């Protein structure tokens, strides 16, 4: 597809599939884009999408951005999912090791410049892996954050130059957990310990009663996104 065709596809599909199920949209994505991938962080939304994809087409690539500083529970969730589905997830690493990053930018860059750290360990690796695809699937939902409130189920991702599918955009957290319970989906146990949104261990804390669901991400700073979706 050229850019004009992509934009026409996005406009038509976003309108047509707004009221349809995530599975229906995933089927469209698979049928339309042979070079398709799911970005998985092993959070609640993403394990739902992993489960759906395995039932529709288990051959779709699934990758994860390994920042080297995920919680141990996150890595264990990856291992359990791989064993359960017999599916190997594609590991995407930053160009710099943590030691090389510390040498070049100073120790604990996530404290002094969280945006730079996210760019090195997430955004740049994502840019590299997405060059291999024409479309990608994400688990973002509109009610997760104000920055995601206007997300469409199908978008043209200008930042990365490809089609972006958000099958769960109109789902609530309750919808996600209803699916997990109904289908007995493996999930990150940190969710049971007041971690509704799980990122790197250095930049994620438990959410206290009454706080926003993403309050535990980059706490005590104005940062709200890692740069993958904005």
Q: Nearest-CA neighbor of 186 among 62, 57, 48, 69?
A: 48
Each residue's pLDDT tens digit, 83-111: 999 999 999 999 999 999 999 999 999 88
Each residue's pLDDT tens digit, 119-147: 999 999 999 999 999 999 999 999 887 87
Terminus-to-terminus CA distance in the chain, angstroms? 24
**pLDDT exceeding 70 applies to what percent of the chain?**
93
Contact 152, 14 (CB under 8 A): yes
Each residue's pLDDT tens digit, 160-207: 999 999 999 999 999 999 999 999 999 999 999 989 889 899 888 888
* H/E stretch holding 76: helix 72-85
List the catalytic residues: 226
Going by their DSSP bridges, the two strands 36-39 and 61-65 should be labelled as parallel
The pLDDT, as a whole number, for residue 225 is 47
| DSSP-assigned beta bridge partners for residue 217 | 204
Contact 204, 220 (CB under 8 A): no
Residue 230 clears pLDDT 70, i.e. is over it? no
pLDDT band at 219 (very low <50, low <70, confident <90, very high): low
The pLDDT, as a whole number, for residue 6 is 87
The full DSSP string for 110-147 is HHH-HHHHHIIIIIHHHHHHHTT-SEEE----GGG-GG
Q: What angle do CA 81, 38, 157 make, to 5 degrees?
A: 155
Q: Nearest-CA neighbor of 165 among 44, 14, 6?
A: 14
């Amino acid at each position: 597809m050229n850019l004009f065709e992509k934009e026409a596809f996005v406009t038509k599909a976003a309108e047509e599939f707004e009221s349809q199920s995530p599975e229906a949209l995933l089927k469209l994505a698979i049928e339309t884009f042979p070079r398709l991938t799911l970005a998985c962080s092993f959070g609640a939304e993403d394990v739902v999408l992993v489960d759906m994809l395995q039932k529709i087409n288990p051959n779709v690539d699934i990758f994860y951005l390994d920042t080297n500083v995920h919680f141990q529970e996150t890595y264990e969730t990856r291992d359990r999912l791989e064993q359960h589905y017999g599916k190997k997830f594609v590991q995407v690493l930053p160009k710099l090791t943590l030691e090389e990053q510390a040498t070049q930018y100073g120790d604990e860059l996530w404290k002094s410049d969280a945006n730079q750290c996210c760019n090195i360990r997430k955004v740049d690796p994502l840019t590299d892996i997405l060059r291999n695809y024409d479309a990608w699937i994400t688990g973002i939902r509109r009610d997760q954050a104000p920055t995601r409130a206007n997300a469409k189920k199908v978008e043209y991702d200008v930042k990365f130059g490809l089609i972006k599918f958000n099958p769960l955009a109109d789902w609530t957290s309750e919808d996600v957990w209803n699916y997990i319970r109904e289908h007995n989906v493996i999930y990150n146990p940190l969710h049971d310990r007041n971690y509704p949104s799980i990122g790197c261990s250095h930049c994620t804390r438990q959410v206290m009663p009454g706080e926003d669901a993403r309050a535990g991400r980059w706490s005590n700073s104005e940062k709200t996104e890692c740069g993958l979706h904005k």
